[in-house]
Amino acid sequence: MGRSEDSDDVTPTLIQSVQRALRLVEAVADLDERAQAKQLARSLGLSLSTTYHLLRTLTFEGYLERRDDGRYLLGPELTRVARAGAPQSLKLVEQERLWAMLILRKRQYSVRSCQ
């Protein structure tokens, strides 16, 4: 994190090209396989050349795929990254499910023992 010269406020140092690339990936996801470069550039307020450079880089790295008709979709590397983060959240969901099952079984057992 960077500090501004004039104050004690902490301001983050952000890389604009990374922000643009992430917005581009989000836009491709939102358009659900209908994303074309011109449409993406317009919707994000980017120049067409910047959009093409970002698309080419993201495609090369596997985060996006380019179809033969020029449309873009999410790529396998993005799926791999998403799945890598999933085990932590899945563990929490699984734990919550197990607790719910245990509570339900305990209630069922309590009801049966009272009858």
Give tens-digit pLDDT for 19-72: 999 999 999 999 887 899 999 999 999 999 999 999 999 999 999 999 999 999
Asked if residue 112 is part of any domain, the answer here is yes
Mapped onto helix, strand or coil, the DSSP state of residue 35 is: strand
Range of the domain at 45: 2-74
Of 38 and 9, which is predicted with more confidence? 38
Contact 31, 42 (CB under 8 A): no
Asked if residue 80 is part of any domain, the answer here is no
* Distance, CA of 74 to CA of 28 (rounded, Å): 7
Tell me: do 18 and 54 sit in the same domain.
yes
CATH number reported for the structural domain that contains residue 51 in this entry: 1.10.10.10
- How many domains is the chain partitioned into structurally? 2
Q: For residue 95, is pLDDT > 50? A: yes
Global pTM reads 0.66
Tell me: do 15 and 68 sit in the same domain.
yes
Identify the bridge partners of residue 3 per DSSP, sorted by sequence position. 10
Asked if residue 81 is part of any domain, the answer here is no
Tell me: do 8 and 52 sit in the same domain.
yes
